[in-house]
Amino acid sequence: SGIAFSHGVVWRTMRRFTLSTLRDFGVGKRTIEIRILEEVHSLIKYFESYHGKPFDTKMILNSAVSNVICSILFGERFEYDDPVFLTLLKMINENTKLLGSPMVLLYNFYPSLGFLSGASRTVLQNIRELNAFLQKLFQEHKEEFNENNLTGFVDAFLMKQKQESRKPHSAFSNGNLLFSTLDLFAAGSETTSTTLRWGLLLMMKYPEIQRKIQEEMNHVIEPGELPKLEDRKKMPYTEAVLHEIQRFANIVPMGVSRSTPADVSFRGYLIPKGTEIIPLLTSALNDELHWKTPDQFNPSHFLDAKGNFIKREAFIPFSIGRRACLGEGLARMELFLFFAGLLRKFVFQPP
């Protein structure tokens, strides 16, 4: 169910609805840029409160990025110190970490061994608590529902659910509401915030690159102003650095699994219908045929001889094809505005 792991008619229906709804609520438009910039200002204030002292950026970056997707899903943002919000993020982060652990991977193949794995029990408990949290939010939206004032994705889904209430096999079930919300939240929060953390760490490791970004911004942006999306095309070096951060960090080395709809013959191998296929994105992001120095952090991978930004065919951190990440457009907006905004206000150095 949901978007990421559905197939056939359900997948096509949910993907089409989700893309349309995300556009309706500003993704790719000026309205969502304004929301992101508001969050950038809040994040900058939080950073300023430390007066240059070192601190762990993990939770605050996750909170800021998650607030953007929360505003799209629920029509509201949370304060950074909201205990319910922090608990929600903690559960998602913990599950993201544990789902890649050896014990949970073993449990996925051999569920009968679950009694041996405390990690798998933690994941399942977090999922139960996360589901309960979302069900409470859904109920609040149902009670306050106003078809003339849809506040976000959840309200739009409830409206569609109401319209198709008499259809016996509608894709707009309560289960799909839950899993679609989880898919969008997961896709729109942890991966983007982790990429931003990688970006800040790499700027500390390569101060000369950080300095060149700030010099580029000084030439493009008015004093006292933060970068806007319209500035991106005038900042080729910053754009190249952001792309190289995603390529080098490679935080999602494997894409979401897919399934063959029919028997497929590929390079002499027969792949039967229904076979699970997992794309290895890292094979493209580190391919020596496409990257001059694949093992090094090198923004020139995305620059031509004149310093202009160039697109690269092997750059596929969001996967490729019809199953590519739905949140790519939003993620690219967030990465630019958060990363450039922070570097506009601060110089990042190791403690």
- Binding-site residue numbers for heme are 325
Residue type, 231: D
For 201: left if phi > 0, alpha if psi spans -120 to 50, otherwise beta; the answer is alpha
Residue spans of beta strands (DSSP E) within the chain: 258-259, 264-266, 269-271, 276-277
Which of 280, 338, 290 has its CA nearest to residue 310? 290
DSSP assignment of 12-57: HHHHHHHHHHHHHTTTTSHHHHHHHHHHHHHHHHHHHTTTT-----
Contact residues for 96 (Cβ-Cβ < 8 A; gap 6+): 186, 190
Distance CA 148, CA 233 (A): 37
Distance CA 10, CA 2 (A): 8
Binding residues: 325
**Cβ(226)–Cβ(37) below 8 Å:** yes
**Cβ(60)–Cβ(43) below 8 Å:** yes
Measured CA to CA in angstroms, residue 272 lies from 50, 89, 258, 263, 318 at distances of: 57, 39, 13, 4, 26
Residue 172 structure tokens: 């707009």
